[in-house]
Structure 1
Amino acid sequence: MDFSLGEELEAVRDLAREILTDRATPERLREVENSPTRVDERLWADLAAAGLLAAVLPEEDGGAGLGMAGLCVLLQEQGRQVAPVPLWPALTGALTVAAYGTRTQRSGLLPGLVDGSARPTVALEEFGPADPLKPRTAAVRDGTGWRLSGVKAVVPAPAGARQVLVTAATGDGPGVFLVRPDAPGVSREYAETTSHDMSAHLTLDGAPAEAVGPPGCGAVEHLVRNASLALAAVQAGVADGALAHAAAHLRGREQFGRPLATFQAVQHQLADCYIDIEAMRVTLWHAVDALAPPFDARAADRAALVAKWWATEGGLNTVHRVQHVHGGIGVDTDYPVHRHFLWGKQISTTLGGAGADLERLGALVTGGAVTE
């Protein structure tokens, strides 16, 4: 199977790499980490101005139609630079609205994302051992709308989000709902994550909401699947960036009159990193390819879980090894490679860790129901 990028995806990769490398400097990262929102709004505006946010959206919504393939290319470049912009929650949410939303929902949300003036975020996780496909937050009908009650944990990048895509349970199956963060019945508690991002625990008490497609239509599966792939793509970039730091460090340091890179034990560590990263790339692009027609929901979910497991397990192993080969410098919280370690750790627990991924994959392989 050929996973080489086509001309359009190569253009996205090259432009994203140029912008992110230029803007996401260690000095700028330090500045953003000390800001109230932890989001680099200048970089977000630059990505929008370059057309990179619009690239993933359908052409009828003002985009270039590159979909998840374009998003994964963009996210890998973000991960390499650990750039603090909320790409994965905003764009996976937008793709679900583009796929299942009404014309009014699409026209109200997507143009703002194209020009960078507005963005959504997603609320997929809850406290306790919870499958993101089986939310405990409840949605009940209220006339032509809905009312949501429950608690959503670690909602990413709440600052600047105009809408939150919330997953909730109904009598007709799980659904995705649009909730305004300033709506009655919505409260939030801010919480800093391992990666220094700012998240929010969202409490919903009869909050008004709009359904994105009818409950049980497959919107939840679509959103969770795309979020899993997006996280895998970011993690692949994080691991690759960490390995690049390790290679540069080991080439420039000597012990006993020899470069550290020539020691066999160190070479074995980096070889293991390389193997894990290649496995992450292969499983990621296999999962992206599974989204193409003819679409099979079970095969796509299975591929997405395999990619997420490799990103969780292989990504975490890579950032651990890279930090180890840096020695004492690696634990300096201001040293660049430490940010890759923190991002790798955070991503490895988002939407469940490796054990949860294997449990969901096992259920799917042995006949668990998939609706789309």
Structure 2
Amino acid sequence: MDFSLGEELEAVRDLAREILTDHTVPERLRAVERSTDRVDMRLWEDLASAGLIAAVLPERDGGAGLGTAGACVLLEEQGRRVAPVPLWPALTGALALAAHGDGELRAEVLPGLAEGRVRLTVALEEFGPADPLAPHTVAVQDGPGWRLSGVKAAVPSPGGARHVLVTAATSRGPGLFLVDAEADGVGWEYAETTTYDRAGHLTLDGARGRAVGAVGGDAAASLVRDASLALAAVQVGVAEGALAHAAAHLRGREQFGRPLATFQAVQHQLADCYIDIEAMRVTLWHAVDALAEPFDPVAADRAAQVAKWWACEAGLTTVHRVQHVHGGIGVDTDYPVHRHFLWGKQIAGTLGGPGAGLERLGTLLTAEEATA
């Protein structure tokens, strides 16, 4: 299997790295973390004006057709710099609309999103151990539209978002619905998160929603799968960025007249981090490759769960190790590496932690065995 990126994806990576590096100096990150919405809007606009958001969209919607692979390349770079922009919900939402939305929905949302004028977020999680594809939020048909009721937890970066993609249960199975973020019947309770992102708990009380794709079809499952891959991609970048901080720190600090990097116990710690990151990368790109034609949804779901488990388990272990080798300054909340620790910890619990991922993977494998 060839995991090389190719010229187009390398161009996305290099351009994203340049823009993100310019915007994510520590002083700027601190300023964004103290702002109202916790989003670096200038960085968001620069990414959009460079065509990096549009790049993931199909050509029919004005994009470059790079899809999930393009999104993952961009998200890895974001994670490496822990850049405070809501890319993963926007990109996965855009991919869901592009793949399953009708022409009217795509024309209404995607051009503004590609240009950076419109923001989109996704509401997938709920309070308690609910599976994203077995939501307690319900949708009931009301004429040509739908009415949604329920509560969604920790919706990422809702401040300034015009639309929300919501998963909800219906009599036909899980469905995906586009809801106006400020419509009647929509209520928000803002909440602090581990990464300083200002999330929101979303209450829906008969709010109007428009179905994305066939209700009970595969739109909801596709969004959850893409969200899992997006989070895994961010986590690869977060872990790599943390490891780079550790290497620089250990080269520059001395003990007993020797650089800390020459101590075998420290080398072993960082070698374990490197191996875990490579495993995260391989499982991520295997899962991206599983989306190619001929498409097998069962194999794609299985690969996505494997990638998400590695991102949760190995990603969290890596940022823990890196913080540990930094000693006392590793727990300083103003020291750069601490942001990687916070991001790694939050990503590891988003859409369920490692245990939930193993349970879902076990369910998939059992179902395959039963049908074999």
The answer for the alignment partner of 2:256 in structure 1 is: 256
The answer for the alignment partner of 1:364 in structure 2 is: 364
The answer for the alignment partner of 2:165 in structure 1 is: 165
The answer for the alignment partner of 1:212 in structure 2 is: 212
Provide the secondary structure at the position in 2 that maps to 1:152. Answer: strand
Q: Which amino acid aligns with 2:257?
A: G
Gap regions ≥5 residues in structure 2: none
The answer for the alignment partner of 1:231 in structure 2 is: 231
Mapped to 2, the partners of 1:236 and 1:5 lie a distance apart of 15
* 1:266-277 map, 5 Å: 266-277=266-277
Structure 1 residue 273 displacement after superposition: 0.2
The answer for the alignment partner of 1:67 in structure 2 is: 67
- TM-score scaled by structure 2? 0.98
Are 2:16 and 1:12 aligned? no
Mapped to 1, the partners of 2:189 and 2:323 lie a distance apart of 32
> Per-residue displacement from partner, 1:127-179 (whole Å, max 9, x unpaired)?
00010111110000101000000000000010111110000000001000011
Provide the secondary structure at the position in 1 that maps to 2:163. Answer: strand
Mapped to 2, the partners of 1:247 and 1:91 lie a distance apart of 31
Are 2:113 and 1:116 aligned? no
* 1:61-100 map, 5 Å: 61-100=61-100
* 1:169-208 map, 5 Å: 169-208=169-208
Provide the secondary structure at the position in 2 that maps to 1:161. Answer: coil
Mapped to 2, the partners of 1:26 and 1:269 lie a distance apart of 26
Mapped to 1, the partners of 2:133 and 2:141 lie a distance apart of 20
> Per-residue displacement from partner, 1:216-261 (whole Å, max 9, x unpaired)?
1100110000000000000000000000000000000000000000
Structure 1 residue 368 displacement after superposition: 6.8
Provide the secondary structure at the position in 1 that maps to 2:38. Answer: coil
Mapped to 2, the partners of 1:213 and 1:18 lie a distance apart of 37
Mapped to 1, the partners of 2:63 and 2:135 lie a distance apart of 31
Q: Which amino acid aligns with 1:50?
A: A
Q: Which amino acid aligns with 1:85?
A: V
Mapped to 2, the partners of 1:180 and 1:63 lie a distance apart of 24
Structure 1 residue 215 displacement after superposition: 1.1
The answer for the alignment partner of 2:137 in structure 1 is: 137
Mapped to 1, the partners of 2:197 and 2:150 lie a distance apart of 23
Query: What is the total number of aligned residue pairs between the two structures?
Result: 369
Mapped to 2, the partners of 1:200 and 1:368 lie a distance apart of 37
Provide the secondary structure at the position in 1 that maps to 2:343. Answer: helix
Aligned-residue sequence identity (percent) comes to 78
The answer for the alignment partner of 1:315 in structure 2 is: 315
Mapped to 1, the partners of 2:368 and 2:200 lie a distance apart of 32
Provide the secondary structure at the position in 1 that maps to 2:170. Answer: coil
The answer for the alignment partner of 2:292 in structure 1 is: 292
The answer for the alignment partner of 1:301 in structure 2 is: 301
* 1:144-159 map, 5 Å: 144-159=144-159
Gap regions ≥5 residues in structure 1: none
Mapped to 1, the partners of 2:125 and 2:158 lie a distance apart of 14
Which runs of 4 or more aligned residues in structure 1 lie more than 4 Å from their structure 2 counterparts after TM superposition? none
Change beyond 3 A, Cα 1:359–1:368: farther
Mapped to 2, the partners of 1:196 and 1:10 lie a distance apart of 30
Mapped to 2, the partners of 1:216 and 1:241 lie a distance apart of 40
> Per-residue displacement from partner, 1:10-51 (whole Å, max 9, x unpaired)?
000000000000111111100000001000000000000100
- TM-score scaled by structure 1? 0.98
